[in-house]
Copies of this chain bind each other. A is one copy, B any other.
Amino acid sequence: MTKENKLQIIPLGGLGEIGKNMTIIRYNNQILIIDVGMAFPDDDMPGIDVVIPDMTYIMENKDLVLGVLITHGHEDHIGALPYLLRNLDVPVYGTRLALGIIQTKLNEAKLSNVRTVEIAPRDSVKLGVFKVEFINVSHSIPGAVGLAIHTPLGTVVHTGDFKLDHTPASGEMLDVHKFAELGDRGVLCLLSDSTNVERTGFTPSEKFVGQNIDEAFSSAEGRIIFASFASNVNRLQQAILAAHKYNRKVAVVGRSMVNVVDIASDLGYLDIPEDTLVEVDEIVNLPVEEVCILTTGSQGEPMSALTRMAQHDHRQISISPGDTVIISASPIPGNEKAVARNIDMLFKLGAKVIYEHISGMHVSGHASQEELKLMISMVKPRYFLPVHGEYRMLMKHADLAGELGIPKENTFIAEIGNVIEFTRHGARIADKVTSGRVLIDGLGIGDVGNIVLRDRKQLSQDGILIIVLTLNGANGSILSGPDIVTRGFVYVRESEPMLDEVKENTRRIMARCQQNGIREWASLKNQIRDGVGKQLYDKTKRRPMIIPIIQEVKGL
């Protein structure tokens, strides 16, 4: 009897969360990886730089991996690639722009010799038992594709991030014909982008923003400062064309913006009319009405160019009355306050600020409900796995599929690590593999865990109070101290009487311990921590972290 053939889909990121998208497709002993994304840290991860998926499962099955398929060049789809490729030598498949952006990342990570394979929409690639087709989709970055992965047990379609844009700013619209053809031939399982499933109707076209950009450029009198995501090349394209149309030169500011403009124009994704681009230091020589500055900082990022301008702290550009600042992006959840602060500061500097809330200067790159329904209707999958979304979004997406006739038992609301297993007989969630988040802090990969984070949180709430004592090793008497050092708790200067009381209290506690014959340091420290903790809480209603440190001098 031969073993039954199995197709497994194993999401390692992007389900029950936004970001760090990564999915495994496994057929018996052959593995494909779709996307290797990162996420930004939550509020409850202070000091963390980025979050990547736990890749234990891949490392345990290293030899089975045939390749990595990249749907597009956004950080939440490629950001963790260096961490994977450091430990795994497999080819990476992506469109020209995606590979261009990836190459920059690999260079920064000093990873050479990575094999990359450029693909284009409608290409197909044979990888082991799999045949992979790449399908053009519209998104907020060019060169975005969905995937059809043909396996002996059926075809798996992964939309990647997508929207249906009938009038994209450049390139072809979403390849409805291919999706429809796949649907006609029969699709086993559809994995579809749930990011905007809470929005009714259709997501507006990128061209809609183009019209508003044109209008704003046509009436602006002073300089125009245009902030957007660097990777939104079509948005930049529309701004550059408007600048050209209204006789403005374009300067590019901010590291990632400079990078992407370089890559995208080199690779033919960005069409910059001759003599349009100027260096930043040349703009001082131009009349204000001939200047357009493309900049990073649309999310209010603390170190970004636009934030520095708003804080009047940019080396080359100071905002003046008459400037028009266009923020062509929505705040990502969590960034609302930082973006609003920037807008306020820019207004205060005298700029006219045009921002998304009231301007039509941004549209999403993700499909709303009607587009999601269309995708399901075109692909007509037997099974449905909503991806790229928090739990409530996956639920909502499953509801939509239900309305379109996908039976509830054929829809999987899965968690990362779940193994969704298909055989000739059906599909089920069969298993759970190691999965989760790995926190990156500086050079440390995964070395910051719950205890360190808990300590950081406590430290940030009420600070720390350190009590240092040197004891005579011979008899336990105090040779020096108690000395108090405190940070983030109270102003030392104003709190000296209270800190003197803490010293007094510590001496009393030590004396009592002496009397009671308590000599072990652990007990002494506990007594001090409890006694001083109570004293401080009664006095201030705060709970600083209390660290008693005891040293001992022997042989006196």
Contact = CB atoms under 8 A, between A and B. Distances in A.
A336 B337 contact: no
B443 A539 contact: yes
A261 to B, nearest CB: 28
Copies in the complex: 2
B357 A444 contact: no
Interface in A361-394: 390-392
B463 A47 contact: yes
Contacts of A553: 470, 479-480, 553
Given A337-B42, A343-B392, A347-B392, A487 B464 contact: yes
A541 B443 contact: yes
Contacts of A547: 466, 485, 487
Interface residues of A, number: 72
Contacts of A284: none
Interface string A337-371: 10010011101100001010110000000000000
B452 A489 contact: yes
Interface in A96-117: none
A459 B468 contact: no
Given A16-B344, A336-B336, A347-B395, A47 B460 contact: yes
A494 interface: yes
Interface in A422-454: 441-444, 447-449, 451-453
Interface string A459-487: 11111101010100000000111010101
A523 interface: no
A337 B391 contact: no
B452 A461 contact: no
A553 B479 CA distance: 6
Interface of A: 16, 42-43, 46-47, 198, 200, 333-334, 336-337, 340, 343-345, 347-348, 353, 355, 357-358, 390-392, 395-396, 441-444, 447-449, 451-453, 455-464, 466, 468, 470, 479-481, 483, 485, 487-491, 494-495, 539-542, 545, 547, 549, 551-553, 556
29 contacts: A43-B43, A43-B337, A46-B461, A47-B460, A47-B462, A47-B463, A200-B358, A334-B337, A336-B336, A344-B390, A348-B391, A442-B540, A442-B541, A442-B542, A444-B540, A449-B491, A452-B489, A452-B491, A453-B488, A456-B461, A456-B463, A458-B488, A459-B488, A460-B460, A468-B549, A468-B551, A483-B549, A483-B551, A556-B556
Given A42-B337, A344-B392, A480-B552, 17 more contacts: A46-B461, A333-B336, A334-B337, A441-B462, A444-B490, A444-B540, A447-B495, A452-B463, A459-B463, A464-B464, A470-B470, A470-B479, A483-B549, A549-B549, A551-B551, A553-B553, A556-B556
